[in-house]
Structure formats: structure tokens, C-alpha cells
Amino acid sequence: MKITKQNDIKDCGLHVLKFFIKKLQNKDVDINYLKINSSYNENGINLFNLKELAKKFELNMTSYSCDFEILKSLPKDDFPIGVLINRDSLNHYLIIKNIDKTRVHFYDSATGKIEKLKHNEFKNIFQNVVFTVEKEKKWTKNENYKLSDKTKDLLIGNKLSIFYFLLAILNLILIFTSTFFVKIIFDVLLKTKEISILLQVFACFLSLNIIKIINSFVKNVAIKKEQNKIEWEITKNFIQKINSLSVNNLSKLTKSDLLRRYSYISFIAQYKANFIYLIFSQLLAFIISSLLMIWVNFYIFLLVCFATGFQFSIDLLINFKIKSKTFNWIKSANKKLKTDLDLIELSKQNKNDEELYFWNNKLYIEFFELKKSDFDIFKFKETKNIWKGLLINNLNLFLILFATFLIFKNEFSMGDLLISLTLIPFISDPVILISDLVMENNLYSEFISDINFVFNLKSKIDIKEGIPIQKINNIKFNNLIFGYENGLEVLNINNWILNENTQIKGKNGCGKSTLLSLLNNQLDNWQGKIEINEINLSNINSNLLFKKIILLTNNDFFPNLSVIDFLTNNIFANKESLYKNIEKYDLNHLLTKLNINLNGKLIDNGNNLSKGQKASINLLKLFIKKYDLIMLDEVFENIENSICEELKEKIKKFQDEAIFLEISHNKNYIHTNNEVNFESINKIK
């Protein structure tokens, strides 16, 4: 048995479960299938949710508290057994294979291999938690445990197959026709010494070369356009998908995981656009070259095939090694990228010697991990080049030697020799290219699988054909239950009506901000009923509804745009409305006090502004259009008191018909007439 290697930092528990499903139920389940059907928190999947997921495959997972001495004394029949360790300050699942007198041998999804540690080393990271997995009954459901392919329609490269085929044929005709130039010169014209015919032949083959160059240019332009088209199609849909996901679904991926998957798009587009032409052209080149070589001399053809076949076998083995090292390199590169971004942010803060030493040491370690992965790939590539130099580059020498003996016997001509030398690359290159395509195809399949996972994540429900709500008058909650992961409730509201300006208070972590996120359509998988104006939310046109709702928080992101574009999305009507209300409510003097220029640039999440400036800019969104429900989460905390009070009054005047739902630990509210203790409403268990 082997354990699969994880690419996402949160997935160790799923790879452990995949191992036990394969071992006990003999089912090979796609890791992304498990991931889609699991419940995550910010650190991955906990034991409770892992147990719930195991039940779907008729497996019973039982966890125990167990110290290392007891673990060592377990009988051999109890293994393999799952354990929880702490690595790099994160919980990590392993499967212990066996424990001998000095070492613990375990399956580790971080490496995809069986690793071992000395007893004292393992004891230091062991979290005193073990779990067993047993088969309740045989899993008999006939299902395909893979995600549906939602990238197929985006990969549109096949539409130019016939065009590529014609280009490939034309290119090969031109190339192989050109190879006869030297044969005609050496075998015919050198004997006849006809200068006029020589010039005519030269002009003819020169024209063919020019046509070949034009054909190559057309081919390259067509492939590049196709590549750009595929890349844009995937990129557009990828971004749309990300924007359609709820927070709890998006939590299944870290920011670095998303960036990693996003970075695959360019490779996928390049591979897809080039694949068809390469297959057509190289396959035809190999067939035609082989036939010509056999026509020239069968024994020389066998010599070329032997050297090329040997090189192909070596390339194939080395390429599989390169593939495994490539994923290590990607992992190291992402790890270093996160550290680089942290260092850029930390550069704005003063650091003592201990902090500088810690971060420099961390950077040093991750830099050399990356360069080690890079050098491993470099060594394998250079090994390929050495073998190619020994076999293919020296093949010409052997061919010349062999051909010379034939020429001595008058069984071969100089023209035949030159044609043979010309044909060698057209036989060897396609064969070697196939080994590269095998590796690239494996990478392509892995990358497509990772992209496809994102497309399979469940989007937020968008009901465009439902009942339109003209004005939100009240919102009723009945038996509303929500948790970011199964078994851990964040919201449990039995019966509550929101029909007036309300200020909610409560201790940190009691679910106040989560309620606002849920009302802003950022969360799904909640249970119970929400009614707006006595109409069930599931029957309402959500596309129109959420245009009437706005949520502002003190953690909102500020992209690299001008202030005015950030507020208005560069929509003329929004700009006109904002400028009109700035004038109407005399906001210019507040902007002057705050030193805010609407045409100024926001840089790096607004780091060129103070917290008070950022909060004030965000609140200007409330002067663009009227809303029915305005939710404010700690938005006034960093604004100077005199400005704050004036801003509140002006917001109240413009948004005079809205229901305000506000959170503020300092009771910094716009309205103060209806403060509610949220813990008396939210009865989480």
C-alpha cells in the first residue's frame, strides 16, 4: 500500500482517509471528490468531520486518547493506525505502519512515502491522539468517485484540428523537398556542371524555403492566438467561479492554493494549443522520414532506430523523475512566496535583532529548499542532455563511418549520405518529443484536475426568476442553524424578526459578524428558514435582492485603483450620484479634513492611507445609492469623533428609508434606539 502525496496543505486528513478506503473497501476515490464532500475549517478537516465523511464509505472511525508508551505497546495486528501530530505549528495526520525497537515507520502524505523517526523524535510531535478505521460492511454502491469534468467546454483547441493538419502536411512537404537539394547537387549537377540548371534549382529551392518560413509564421500565429483564446476562456470562468463561491466553500483553499491553481492556466492553454499540431507534424515527420530512410538504406535505418529507442527509454525514466520533482518545486516556490509577501509587509514595521534573525533564518531555509528542488530538476535535465549527446549527437559519426564503407563498395552515394544525415533529426526528435509529451501530459492531467476542483465547488444560489422584492420591510429567522464545519454551530436562531434599526452587542466569537455575512449572501449550507416580507428567501429573486443590501466592515479590501473607481466601479451614473451627494450634503470639507483625494490612488490594500481615511472612504459608498438594508461592522472605530458624528448625521439623512443593522464594541452606532444582546438570540449549543 502507498499513500498519495498531498498538494494542498489542508488535505492530509483526506489522503489518510483515501488510504483506508483503498485498503478496506478496495475503492480508488479521487482526492478532489473527497474534498468537495468534506467540511473544512481554516486549518483543514477535523476528526469529527473526517469520521462523518468515512461513514459515507461504510467505514467506522474511532479516536482515542493515547500516550506514546501505550502506542508502542499496541499489538502488531492493530496497525496500520492513524495518529495526529504537530508539525510546523499545524496539526497533521499520519498512518503508522509499524513500530520497531528504535523507530516509528509511518505513511506521510506530505511526501507520499513511508518515513521513519526515532522514538524520542516522534514522541516530541505526537499529540496523544490515535484513531482506528474499520469496515462496517462492504461498500456496494456503483458510483464514479470522480468529479465531473467542467473544463471540457473551455478547452476549445480541437476546433482547428483540420487547419493544423493541413499546415503540418504543407510544412513537411516543404522540409522534405528541401532535403533533396543536396542530393541533386552532389549526385547530378556536380557531374553535369550545368550552371544554368544549378541556378534554376537554387531559385526553386530558395522559393520553397521562403514559403516554409511563411508557413511556419502562420502556424505560430495561429497557435498563439488559440493559446490566448483558451487561456482567456479558462481565466474568465475561473475568476467568475471564485467570485460566486461562499466563504465556507472558499475556505477549502488557502490563498496560496488558489494562486497555485491559477498559475496552471497558462501551461494548460499552451499545452492544449500546441498538442494537436505537434502530434500531427511529429507523427507525419517520423513516418515519412522512416520510409525515406528505409528507401535510402534499411541497415542505416535500423542503426538510427536503435539509438533513438535507447534514448527514448532513458528520457522516459528521467522525465518521470522530473515530474515528481516539479511538484516539490511548486510546493517550495509557494512556501517561499508566502514568506516573501510576509517580509514585504513586515518591512513597514520596526524589528529587533531577534525578529530579524528569525525572518532571515526562515528566508535562508526556504530559499535553499527552493534552490535544492530547482537543482534536482536541473541535474535530471542535464543527465538527459548528456545521454542525448552520447547517443544522438554521436549517431552522425557512426552513420558516416558505416556509410563510408558502403561508399567504398559503391553501394552508397554522397547524396544518399547527406539525405540520411538530414533525416536523422526527423526520426529521433519525434520519438524524444513523445517522452516529453508523456511527462507534460501527466502534469497537464494533474493541473486540469486541480482547476476542475475549483469549477466543481458549489456556487452560491442565484435565483434570477424569483419574486422581486420592491422594499425590504422585515426579515424573519426561524430555526436558523449555521456552522463553518459540521458539528460546530456558530448560529442557532430559533425565532427573531428584524424590522427596525438594530444594534447588536455580544462577546467576541458569538456569531454577530457571521450573521451579517450570511445576510450579505456570503455563506451557504445554512439550515432553517429566512423570510423577507413574509416570502421565503428561496423564492425571491436574489439577483435583485442583494443589490438592495450592503455590508461594510473594518476589514474590507482596498484594491489598487483610484478612490473614485473603487467607490463607483467606474460607472458614470454612480460617479454622477456620488458627486451630487457630496455637494448636497457638504462632504467636501470632511474630505479636506481627512486629506482624501477622490482621484488619488489606493496602494496595497490602502496602506498609503490611515485607518480613519480608509474607513471614511468606505462609508462614501453609502452616498452613491439608497439601500434597504445597511449592515455596519465596526466601521466608525478609527474615525476622529467630530468627523464621525457629522458623517453619521449625513448618512442618516440620505439613507433615511433603510434598516440599519450595526455592530460596535464601543457602541459607535448611527442609531442607538434598539440595542440587542445577540447571545440572548443566538442559542448556540
Q: Identify the weakest region by mean pLDDT among 83-87, 458-462, 548-552, 662-666.
A: 458-462
598 and 626, same domain (yes or no): yes
Q: What is the reported pLDDT for 109?
A: 92
Q: Which residues are CB-neighbours of 633 under 8 A, at least 6 positions away? A: 512, 513, 516, 551, 552, 553, 554, 662, 663
Q: Which residues are CB-neighbours of 100 under 8 A, at least 6 positions away? A: none
202 and 118, same domain (yes or no): no
Determine the 3-state secondary structure of 108 from DSSP.
Answer: strand
Mean pLDDT value of segment 565-579: 94
Q: What is the reported pLDDT for 664?
A: 92
The number of beta carbons lying within 10 Å of the beta carbon of residue 50 is 23
Query: Residue 463 falls within a domain, yes or no?
Result: no
CA distance 417 to 404: 9
Q: Residue 84: pLDDT above 90? A: yes
Confidence of residue 189 (pLDDT cuts 50, 70, 90): low
Query: Residue 6 falls within a domain, yes or no?
Result: no
424 and 305, same domain (yes or no): yes
Q: Identify the weakest region by mean pLDDT among 189-203, 243-257, 422-436.
A: 189-203
Q: What is the reported pLDDT for 329?
A: 82
Q: What is the reported pLDDT for 330?
A: 79
Tell which residue, 515, 550, 531, has the closest CA to residue 469.
Answer: 531
**Residues facing residue 503 across a β-bridge:** 662, 675
Query: Residue 352 falls within a domain, yes or no?
Result: yes
Query: Residue 486 falls within a domain, yes or no?
Result: yes
| 97 vs 429, more confident | 97
104 and 210, same domain (yes or no): no
| 500 vs 167, more confident | 500
Confidence of residue 42 (pLDDT cuts 50, 70, 90): low
Q: What is the reported pLDDT for 179?
A: 63
654 and 515, same domain (yes or no): yes
Q: What is the reported pLDDT for 143?
A: 63
441 and 494, same domain (yes or no): no
Assign residue 568 the CATH number of its domain.
3.40.50.300
CA distance 547 to 537: 15
Mean pLDDT value of segment 215-228: 81
Q: Residue 209: pLDDT above 90? A: no
Q: Residue 488: pLDDT above 90? A: no
Q: Residue 131: pLDDT above 80? A: yes
Half-sphere exposure of 561 (CA within 13 A, CB side): 12
176 and 232, same domain (yes or no): yes
Query: Residue 147 falls within a domain, yes or no?
Result: no
179 and 307, same domain (yes or no): yes
Assign residue 126 the CATH number of its domain.
3.90.70.10
Confidence of residue 422 (pLDDT cuts 50, 70, 90): confident
DSSP 67-87: -HHHHHHS-GGG-SEEEEEEE
Structural domain ending residue among the three candidates 135, 162, 186: 135
The mean pLDDT value of the chain amounts to: 85
Q: What is the reported pLDDT for 157?
A: 52
Mean pLDDT value of segment 532-545: 90
The number of beta carbons lying within 10 Å of the beta carbon of residue 22 is 16
Q: What is the reported pLDDT for 253?
A: 81
Query: Residue 5 falls within a domain, yes or no?
Result: no
Structural domain ending residue among the three candidates 76, 105, 135: 135
117 and 42, same domain (yes or no): yes
378 and 427, same domain (yes or no): yes
Convert the pLDDT of each residue in 265-302 to its tens digit: 998 988 888 777 777 777 777 887 788 788 888 888 88
277 and 415, same domain (yes or no): yes
Confidence of residue 138 (pLDDT cuts 50, 70, 90): confident
Structural domain ending residue among the three candidates 135, 167, 197: 135
Assign residue 214 the CATH number of its domain.
1.20.1560.10
Cell numbers for 495? 425565532
CA distance 358 to 351: 10
Percent of the chain with pLDDT over 70: 92
Confidence of residue 407 (pLDDT cuts 50, 70, 90): confident
Instruction: Give a three-class secondary structure readout of 457-517.
Output: CCECCCCCCCECCCCCCCEEEEEEEECCECCECCEEEEEEEECCCEEEECCCCCCHHHHHH
**In total, how many domains does the chain have?**
3
Query: Residue 142 falls within a domain, yes or no?
Result: no
373 and 300, same domain (yes or no): yes
Q: Residue 542: pLDDT above 90? A: no
Planar angle of CA 570, 468, 574, nearest 5 degrees: 15
Convert the pLDDT of each residue in 348-386 to its tens digit: 676 677 777 787 888 888 888 888 888 988 988 888 888
Percent of the chain with pLDDT over 90: 33
Residue 166 lies in domain: 152-456
Q: What is the reported pLDDT for 477?
A: 94
Q: What is the reported pLDDT for 411?
A: 74
283 within 8 A of 240, measured Cβ to Cβ = no
Q: What is the reported pLDDT for 185?
A: 65
Q: What is the reported pLDDT for 465?
A: 74
Confidence of residue 660 (pLDDT cuts 50, 70, 90): very high
Confidence of residue 93 (pLDDT cuts 50, 70, 90): very high
| 637 vs 248, more confident | 637
The number of beta carbons lying within 10 Å of the beta carbon of residue 522 is 17
Query: Residue 598 falls within a domain, yes or no?
Result: yes
Mean pLDDT value of segment 59-66: 91
Q: What is the reported pLDDT for 380?
A: 86
Q: Residue 226: pLDDT above 90? A: no
